[in-house]
């Protein structure tokens, strides 16, 4: 792999750090795991895993109020974790740290408590094109109920926020700016300090979504002068189901509770309720005690590492991968902001994102594909999604090289050159055993040419053990699937619930009382899997379709290891639609 990035290790303690993450030692599909999906969730160090295990083994009890020993131990650990979090983000007071289920709940808390009590018709909320859905939808729901208006900061061609346009958006009507610190989809680092200063000058408050920032750089909420700052534990080496809302004390004290229940009250009677003080006013019910303790340990782990070294190491990995990918024909990098986190997002003119993700997975390389919960961003980029590799402090230069090498192989190996557009009625190496329907005399011509039958499919796949051979056969089956022309790919035929685009049509033959299906997809592997689905269901009566279990066939063909959850859900969406159609005729 060529490139100009210096590949000399600059993080000398990396081997020791990796040893603290047990999951990194495992293999996937016979290959060492290369985990490059850190923007979705990070792996957990032993200190976090052991702290959660120790809580349940040695001190499981509820926090606060109880007089017994276990509760006292648990309460101390729970509140010590809060103090760790306070120190980690440099909040002034521990009561400014509110435990939540994650960044999403933290944003919803602010929207429902501060927003519903403060906003009125005509007030304005400023968001950016970079936002995760979690920092868009709560404000849309709030705007619907209050009459507030949402305005959007746009991007330049490189993925930087347009600060001049942002300044033009600000006015006396601006009440809140909700901005991501780092884009999860393309890695842009927002100039949050400048954004906050401009917002405050206009009289607006600022909420920062720091979910992608806290694992990669020091965050000082006082230096930023943030009004609210939120993040999720699982993206900063902590457990799932726990997160933090930081809010300035004077703001939080003036906000009404969002959820009612135990802990958030001081006194309850049927004549009225007096609420508890901060932080408990916003922590109704039994909290995620183990999660809070685990997050505290994760932040302690990070606090013991030199962030400057982490930043340099992660930047080195990103630069190495970006340089490697730019040398591969057909790959286009998405997001080239001046300031970037260790996120590399790209598309390929040769392969569908979903195909890339699945074929990398078979080599033990974990990446994320899709819209990354950033549909408005993808819409502005005129993309359905991207492939995203995201790095963490435990990733290595060798892993970055392995990823680029795999992408080079993917784009240069004839194994994957099974373009569906290359369909032909002439023979090919698969035998081109497309089935032709003859028994239904009134069947439209397009439905007469079907995918290979189950007998043929079973014969091809049985005895194949290597992933390369199996994928070759799956893609060749997809190649034999009839390609639908443009008029058959309308929105009315497109199925929801599939990561790739899938179109499905059917015809009911009154003479034979059988249903026939045709389908197509823009993902090559999905086309091959659709061929199997159609072989199972097409040409059968509604009663027969209702009795079929596609999962049994995939088990028999030993394909479950080749289905990611998202791809599995997509196939289920196709099967559900086929079964719903059959039900209409039964």
Q: What are the residue ranges of helices labelled H in 59-211?
A: 69-89, 103-110, 116-118, 137-146, 163-169, 192-201
Contact indicator for 75, 64 with CB cutoff of 8 Å: yes
What 3-state class would DSSP assign to 215? Answer: coil
CA distance 513 to 335: 53
Query: Which residues fall within 8 angstroms of residue 47, CB to CB, at 6 or more apart?
Result: 20, 297, 298, 300, 301
Which strand ranges, in their side-by-side order, compose the sheet holding 174-180?
97-100, 243-247, 228-232, 205-209, 174-180, 124-128, 149-153
The Cα 396–Cα 10 span in angstroms is: 11
CA angle 131, 134, 138 (to 5 degrees): 110
CB 570 within 8 A of CB 500: yes
Q: Is 97 helix (H, G, I), strand (E, B) or coil?
A: strand
Q: Are strands 149-153 and 174-180 parallel, antiparallel or unpaired?
A: unpaired
- Tell me the C-alpha to C-alpha distance, in Å, between residue 224 and each of 91, 114, 116, 208, 229: 11, 20, 25, 10, 10
Annotated catalytic residue 73: no
Among 33, 373, 375, 573, the active-site one is 373
Question: How far apart, in whole angstroms, are the C-alpha atoms of residue 164 and residue 150?
Answer: 18
Q: How far apart are CA 56 and CA 177, in angstroms?
A: 40
d(CA 187, CA 199): 23
Q: What angle do CA 228, 232, 234 make, to 5 degrees?
A: 165
Read off the tokens for 431: 């035998």
Is the CB of residue 249 less than 8 Å from the CB of residue 109? no
How is residue 390 annotated by DSSP?
Answer: E
Report the SS3 class of residue 274.
strand
Cis peptide before 279 (omega within 30 of 0): yes
Reading the block at residue 555, the tokens are 């088990």
* Contacts with 522 (C-beta within 8 Å, 6 or more apart), sequence order: 352, 500, 501
Site of tokens 């842009």? 188
Structure tokens at 581: 């159609």
Positions marked catalytic: 373
């Amino acid at each position: 792999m060529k490139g100009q990035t210096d590949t000399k290790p600059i993080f000398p303690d990396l081997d020791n750090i990796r040893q603290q993450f047990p999951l990194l030692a495992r293999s996937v599909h016979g290959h060492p795991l290369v985990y490059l999906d850190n923007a979705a969730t990070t792996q957990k160090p032993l200190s976090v895993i052991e702290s959660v295990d120790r809580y349940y083994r040695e001190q499981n009890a509820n926090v606060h109020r109880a007089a017994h020993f276990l509760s006292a131990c648990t309460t101390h650990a729970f509140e010590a974790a809060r103090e760790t979090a306070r120190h980690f983000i440099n909040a002034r007071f521990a009561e400014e740290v509110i435990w939540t289920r994650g960044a999403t709940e933290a944003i919803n808390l602010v929207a429902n408590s501060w927003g519903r009590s403060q906003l009125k018709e005509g007030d304005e909320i400023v968001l950016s094109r970079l936002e995760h859905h979690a920092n868009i939808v709560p404000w849309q729901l709030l705007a619907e109920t209050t009459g507030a208006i949402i305005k959007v900061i746009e991007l330049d061609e490189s993925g930087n926020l347009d600060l001049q346009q942002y300044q033009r958006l600000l006015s006396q009507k601006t009440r809140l700016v909700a901005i991501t610190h780092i884009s999860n989809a393309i890695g842009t680092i927002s100039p949050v300090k400048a954004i906050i200063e401009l917002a405050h000058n206009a009289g607006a408050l600022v909420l920062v979504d720091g979910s992608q920032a806290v694992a990669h750089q020091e965050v000082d909420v006082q230096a930023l002068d943030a009004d609210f700052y939120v993040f999720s534990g699982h993206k900063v080496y902590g457990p799932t189901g726990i997160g933090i809302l930081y809010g300035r004390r004077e703001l939080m004290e003036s906000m009404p509770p969002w959820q009612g229940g135990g802990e958030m009250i001081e006194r309850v009677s049927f004549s009225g309720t007096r609420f508890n003080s901060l932080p408990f006013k916003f922590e109704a019910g039994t909290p995620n005690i183990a999660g809070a303790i685990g997050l505290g340990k994760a932040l302690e782990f990070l606090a013991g590492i030199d962030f400057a070294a982490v930043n340099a190491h992660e930047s080195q990995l990103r630069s190495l991968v970006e340089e490697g990918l730019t040398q591969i024909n057909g790959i286009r990098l998405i997001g080239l902001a001046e300031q970037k986190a260790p996120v590399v997002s790209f598309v390929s003119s040769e392969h569908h994102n979903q195909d890339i993700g699945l074929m990398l997975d078979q080599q033990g390389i974990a990446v994320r594909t899709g819209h990354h919960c950033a549909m408005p961003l993808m819409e502005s980029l005129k993309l359905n999604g991207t492939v995203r590799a995201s790095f963490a402090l435990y990733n290595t230069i060798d892993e970055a090289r392995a990823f680029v090498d795999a992408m080079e192989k993917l784009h240069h190996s004839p194994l994957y050159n099974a373009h569906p557009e290359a369909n032909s009625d002439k023979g090919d190496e698969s035998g081109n055993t497309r089935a032709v329907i003859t028994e239904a005399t009134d069947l439209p011509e397009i439905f007469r040419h079907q995918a290979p039958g189950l007998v043929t499919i079973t014969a091809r796949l049985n005895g194949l053990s290597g992933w390369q051979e199996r994928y070759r056969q799956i893609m060749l089956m997809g190649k034999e699937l009839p390609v639908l022309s443009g008029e058959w790919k309308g929105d009315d035929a497109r199925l929801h619930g599939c990561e790739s685009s899938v179109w499905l049509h059917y015809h009911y033959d009154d003479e034979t009382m059988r249903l026939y299906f045709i389908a197509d997809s823009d993902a090559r592997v999905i086309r091959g899997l659709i061929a199997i689905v159609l072989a199972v269901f097409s040409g059968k009566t509604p009663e027969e379709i209702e009795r079929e279990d596609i999962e049994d066939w995939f088990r028999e063909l030993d394909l479950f290891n080749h289905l990611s959850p998202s791809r599995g859900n997509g196939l289920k969406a196709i099967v559900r639609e086929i079964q719903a159609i059959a039900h209409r005729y039964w």
